[in-house]
Amino acid sequence: MARRFDTIWATAMSHDIVSFVEIGSADASQTGAFFQQLFEWQFHPLGAQSEGWFQTSSIKIGMHGNDPLPGFLVFFGVPDLDTAIAKVLSLGGKAEAPTEEPGFGRFCFCTDPSGLKFGLHSLRSDH
Protein backbone atom coordinates (compact mmCIF):
# COMPACT_ATOMS: atom_id res chain seq x y z
CA MET A 1 0.00 0.00 0.00
CA ALA A 2 2.83 2.42 0.80
CA ARG A 3 4.28 2.00 -2.70
CA ARG A 4 0.87 2.69 -4.32
CA PHE A 5 0.44 5.79 -2.15
CA ASP A 6 3.93 7.06 -3.09
CA THR A 7 3.12 6.58 -6.79
CA ILE A 8 -0.16 8.47 -6.46
CA TRP A 9 1.57 11.40 -4.71
CA ALA A 10 4.40 11.50 -7.24
CA THR A 11 1.87 11.62 -10.07
CA ALA A 12 -0.20 14.31 -8.35
CA MET A 13 2.82 16.53 -7.80
CA SER A 14 4.15 16.24 -11.34
CA HIS A 15 1.02 16.50 -13.49
CA ASP A 16 -1.06 19.32 -11.98
CA ILE A 17 -3.93 17.05 -10.96
CA VAL A 18 -6.09 17.34 -7.86
CA SER A 19 -3.79 16.57 -4.93
CA PHE A 20 -5.80 17.82 -1.94
CA VAL A 21 -9.34 18.93 -1.13
CA GLU A 22 -10.39 21.10 1.81
CA ILE A 23 -13.93 20.98 3.19
CA GLY A 24 -15.08 24.14 4.90
CA SER A 25 -18.12 23.40 7.05
CA ALA A 26 -20.36 25.42 9.33
CA ASP A 27 -20.39 22.40 11.69
CA ALA A 28 -17.30 20.19 11.37
CA SER A 29 -18.65 17.52 13.75
CA GLN A 30 -21.81 17.05 11.71
CA THR A 31 -20.02 17.14 8.36
CA GLY A 32 -17.32 14.76 9.60
CA ALA A 33 -19.85 12.21 10.83
CA PHE A 34 -21.77 12.49 7.55
CA PHE A 35 -18.77 11.76 5.31
CA GLN A 36 -17.42 9.05 7.61
CA GLN A 37 -20.73 7.22 7.28
CA LEU A 38 -21.32 8.00 3.60
CA PHE A 39 -17.92 6.94 2.24
CA GLU A 40 -16.44 5.07 5.23
CA TRP A 41 -13.47 7.43 5.23
CA GLN A 42 -11.22 7.24 8.29
CA PHE A 43 -11.09 10.59 10.12
CA HIS A 44 -7.89 11.87 11.73
CA PRO A 45 -8.50 14.66 14.27
CA LEU A 46 -6.11 17.59 14.12
CA GLY A 47 -6.52 20.61 16.35
CA ALA A 48 -9.73 21.79 17.94
CA GLN A 49 -13.42 21.88 17.06
CA SER A 50 -13.60 18.52 15.24
CA GLU A 51 -11.11 19.66 12.61
CA GLY A 52 -8.79 17.22 10.90
CA TRP A 53 -8.56 15.20 7.73
CA PHE A 54 -9.93 12.14 6.00
CA GLN A 55 -7.79 9.57 4.21
CA THR A 56 -9.50 8.39 1.03
CA SER A 57 -8.14 5.68 -1.25
CA SER A 58 -6.15 8.27 -3.19
CA ILE A 59 -5.83 11.66 -1.38
CA LYS A 60 -6.21 13.41 1.94
CA ILE A 61 -9.23 15.65 2.42
CA GLY A 62 -8.88 18.33 5.08
CA MET A 63 -11.81 19.70 7.04
CA HIS A 64 -12.32 22.80 9.16
CA GLY A 65 -15.39 24.20 10.88
CA ASN A 66 -16.98 27.59 11.51
CA ASP A 67 -16.81 28.44 7.81
CA PRO A 68 -19.34 31.16 6.88
CA LEU A 69 -19.35 29.89 3.27
CA PRO A 70 -19.35 26.06 3.47
CA GLY A 71 -17.97 24.25 0.47
CA PHE A 72 -15.09 22.38 -1.11
CA LEU A 73 -11.81 23.93 -2.23
CA VAL A 74 -9.76 21.98 -4.75
CA PHE A 75 -5.95 22.10 -4.65
CA PHE A 76 -3.90 21.22 -7.72
CA GLY A 77 -0.52 19.56 -7.22
CA VAL A 78 2.49 21.38 -8.63
CA PRO A 79 6.17 20.42 -8.49
CA ASP A 80 7.31 23.97 -7.60
CA LEU A 81 4.85 26.14 -5.67
CA ASP A 82 6.73 29.42 -6.07
CA THR A 83 6.92 29.02 -9.86
CA ALA A 84 3.20 28.18 -10.04
CA ILE A 85 2.30 31.23 -7.91
CA ALA A 86 4.34 33.46 -10.21
CA LYS A 87 2.45 32.07 -13.20
CA VAL A 88 -0.94 32.68 -11.51
CA LEU A 89 0.07 36.30 -10.93
CA SER A 90 1.43 36.75 -14.48
CA LEU A 91 -1.88 35.53 -15.88
CA GLY A 92 -3.86 38.12 -13.90
CA GLY A 93 -4.87 35.89 -11.00
CA LYS A 94 -4.31 36.48 -7.29
CA ALA A 95 -2.41 34.39 -4.76
CA GLU A 96 -2.15 34.64 -0.99
CA ALA A 97 1.12 34.03 0.82
CA PRO A 98 1.86 30.28 0.91
CA THR A 99 1.57 28.36 4.16
CA GLU A 100 3.43 25.27 5.34
CA GLU A 101 1.41 22.46 6.94
CA PRO A 102 3.73 19.87 8.54
CA GLY A 103 3.10 16.44 7.08
CA PHE A 104 0.95 17.87 4.27
CA GLY A 105 3.25 20.25 2.35
CA ARG A 106 2.89 23.86 1.18
CA PHE A 107 -0.41 25.40 0.16
CA CYS A 108 -1.48 28.60 -1.56
CA PHE A 109 -5.02 29.97 -1.91
CA CYS A 110 -5.58 31.53 -5.34
CA THR A 111 -8.25 33.07 -7.55
CA ASP A 112 -8.39 33.34 -11.31
CA PRO A 113 -9.05 36.77 -12.92
CA SER A 114 -12.83 36.22 -12.63
CA GLY A 115 -12.65 35.44 -8.89
CA LEU A 116 -12.90 31.62 -9.06
CA LYS A 117 -11.20 30.17 -5.96
CA PHE A 118 -8.74 27.27 -6.13
CA GLY A 119 -5.54 26.20 -4.44
CA LEU A 120 -2.03 25.10 -5.31
CA HIS A 121 -0.25 22.39 -3.33
CA SER A 122 3.31 21.09 -3.23
CA LEU A 123 4.74 18.37 -1.04
CA ARG A 124 8.22 19.81 -1.35
CA SER A 125 9.47 22.74 0.66
CA ASP A 126 10.65 24.62 -2.43
CA HIS A 127 11.18 28.10 -0.99
Summarize pLDDT for 31-43 with one digit per residue, the tens: 999 999 999 999 9
Amino acid at 103: G
Amino acid at 58: S
Q: What's the pLDDT tens digit per position in 16-30?
A: 789 999 999 999 999
Q: So where are the chain's domains?
A: 24-67
Residue 53 CB neighbour total at 10 angstroms: 25
Q: What's the pLDDT tens digit per position in 63-117?
A: 999 999 999 999 999 999 999 999 999 999 999 999 999 889 999 999 999 999 9
Following DSSP, what letter does each residue of 13-42 receive, concatenated? HHTT-EEEEEEE-S-HHHHHHHHHHHH-PE
Q: What local confidence, expressed as pLDDT, does residue 123 receive?
A: 85
Look up the pTM and report it: 0.81
**pLDDT at position 1 over 50:** no
Spell out a b/e string for 4-23, using b for 16 or more CB atoms within 10 Å of the CB, else e. Answer: eeeeebeebbeeeeebbbbb
Compute φ and ψ for 33, nearest 5 degrees: -60, -40
Return the beta strands (E) in 1-127 as ranges: 18-24, 42-45, 52-55, 60-64, 71-77, 94-95, 99-101, 105-111, 117-122
